[in-house]
Amino acid sequence: MTLNLYDTMSRAKRPFVPKDPGRVTLYVCGPTVYNYAHIGNFRPVVVFDLLFRVLRDLYGEAAVLYAANVTDVDDKINKKAAEEGVPISVISNRYLDAYNADAAALGALPPTFQPRVTETMDAITAMIGDLIGHNSAYAAEGHVLFDTQAFGDYGKLSGRAMDEMIAGARVDVAPYKRHPADFVLWKPSKAGEPAWESPWGPGRPGWHIECTAMIERALGLPIDIHGGGIDLVFPHHENELAQGVCSGHGGREYASVWMHNGFLNMGEEKMSKSLGNVALAHDLRKQYPGEAIRWALLAGHYRQPLEWTGELIGQAKSALDRLYRALDDSERFLAGVPTAARASGGEHRGAVQAYDAVVAALHDDLNTPVAFAGLFQLSDHLRSATMGKDVAGVERSRALLLEAAQLMGFLGAQPSAWFQGGADDTLKTKVEALIADRQTARTEKNWPEADRIRAELNALNVEVMDGPSGATWRIKEQA
Ligand code: AMP
Ligand code: ZN
């Protein structure tokens, strides 16, 4: 099956052909770590994690190299470090740890590489040197600037004309610039700011060169897929591309496919720290399971804007409840079937077709809404096989549901843990004690007491299911 991906550069959906199927490379621009990241920052994390999983499924786990960088040199990090009177690494490590914990809670696999700017300084200065050597950059007054006039394709990725780019980039019109669109590769640090040695004096790099050098170092140029949020097309990715091509690394190509996710909005506006309309992943995951947040972020197609609402996350939770419930009921049914009676066999074409539909949707430019519909079809097959006591049908559709869902990063929990996840520890202890008391009452054939306890559990919104290996429980389905 062919994987088709929409490419921002060619403005079309195209079949994905890696340069080397044994070494597929993906790079995604990551966070600046100076504070807790908001849930909008995790849209690219979840979207490109899904792509990473699909690529691993197609080419094999060892063949896919995914680098997602961390920007740990930045004015905002400097400011926070100065306020707290600590080195910048204290701030960046603190928020990088929080970011990685949030990403893991949202089911994102760790990227193969997580390069950091502070650890890439030598590659950054070497690349700036190469750009000067190729007459694509010039030093002026302690700065090094990229010479946009030296790159004929400048503006091709974003499709912008030069005057638009000058206005859009809001670049400083500094006297040392040859052209207003020229952008900074190296700049002197101000007094008290962190500085690194370079042939142009102590200073620090511009944002764009950092990514190009981190890609070169982690993956080598050119790469197969470059991703990030839509806000990065210009100037960030346009500038990365110009640097990559003009430095002579990787020849005329920088990335074969450019992919950009749409914004996560809050109300009418993009969720962003500067607007203050943010929900933090760090807070949300105290309220909702990580899988539900992941589902919500994938509920719309990744290129479309998505509005973050209470309803969106509520629907995501219910959708997962539906899948986990089908799984839970099927497991309970299978637990009562003697192993000898478990026969595989039968075609179960409906379930196989639903599974194929999930994979086909993912291969169609990560069409998650259609893939979700396929997961529901699979869970419906599982439910009807369970109700019809069709052992082989249950086993087949259960395996297909798990495989399809886990390809997307879902159904990683045990159903019991999922349904009891909504219960706090006090409730769990109370329920377990009531179930034990009920068991004693039943052993003593004290039926009124057993019924009274069941009613008490019912009032706690807990459903008790008696099975061959004792009683289990779950929080009841919401009406
Ligand atoms: P930043 O820390 O703002 O540089 O953003 C890190 C990543 O998150 C980049 O790929 C951004 O494009 C992306 N991003 C930031 N805000 C949003 C948003 N509201 N919706 C979707 N992606 C976003
Ligand atoms: Zn970048």
How crowded is residue 335: how many other Cβ atoms within 10 Å of its Cβ?
A: 11
- Please tell me the predicted confidence (pLDDT) of residue 164: 81
The residue-averaged pLDDT of 434-452 equals 92
- Please tell me the predicted confidence (pLDDT) of residue 418: 93
> Which residues fall within 8 angstroms of residue 474, CB to CB, at 6 or more apart?
328, 415, 416, 419, 420, 462, 463, 465
Nearest CA to ligand 1 atom 15: 41
Ligand 1, CB cutoff 6 Å, lining residues: 29, 31-32, 40-41, 43-44, 228-229, 231-232, 261, 263-264, 270-272
Give the DSSP letter of residue 146.
E
Half-sphere exposure of 337 (CA within 13 A, CB side): 18
13-39 confidence digits (pLDDT tens): 999 999 999 999 999 999 999 999 999
393-406 confidence digits (pLDDT tens): 999 999 999 999 99
Percentage above 70 pLDDT, the chain: 96
pTM equals 0.91
**Greatest mean pLDDT among 250-259, 278-287, 298-307:** 298-307
Return the higher-pLDDT residue of 243 and 460: 243
Q: Inform me whether the pLDDT recorded for 475 exceeds 60.
A: yes
- CATH architecture of the region 323-417: Up-down Bundle (1.20)
331: closest CA among 376, 397, 377, 375? Answer: 397
Which residue ranges does the chain devote to CATH 1.20.120.640? Answer: 323-417
Cα 460 to ligand 2 centre (Å): 50
Cα 40 to ligand 1 centre (Å): 6
Would you place residue 345 in the very low, low, confident or very high pLDDT band (cuts 50, 70, 90)?
Answer: low
289-298 confidence digits (pLDDT tens): 999 999 999 9
Q: Inform me whether the pLDDT recorded for 479 exceeds 60.
A: no
Would you place residue 168 in the very low, low, confident or very high pLDDT band (cuts 50, 70, 90)?
Answer: low
The residue-averaged pLDDT of 347-356 equals 92
Least confident range of 62-76, 218-232, 335-349, 374-388: 335-349
Triad 425, 430, 433: Cα angle to 5°: 125
The residue-averaged pLDDT of 314-321 equals 97
Cα 114 to ligand 2 centre (Å): 13
Triad 85, 87, 89: Cα angle to 5°: 140
Return the higher-pLDDT residue of 424 and 328: 328
Q: Inform me whether the pLDDT recorded for 410 exceeds 90.
A: yes
Return the higher-pLDDT residue of 337 and 298: 298
Nearest CA to ligand 1 atom 12: 229
Cα 200 to ligand 2 centre (Å): 23
Least confident range of 99-103, 121-125, 169-173, 275-279: 169-173
Best residue for ligand 1 mutational test, from 231, 234, 261 (most atoms within 8 Å of Cβ): 231
The residue-averaged pLDDT of 365-394 equals 97
Triad 247, 248, 249: Cα angle to 5°: 95
How far is it, in rounded angstroms, from Cα 76 to Cα 188? 17
Residue 385 token pair? 């096989």
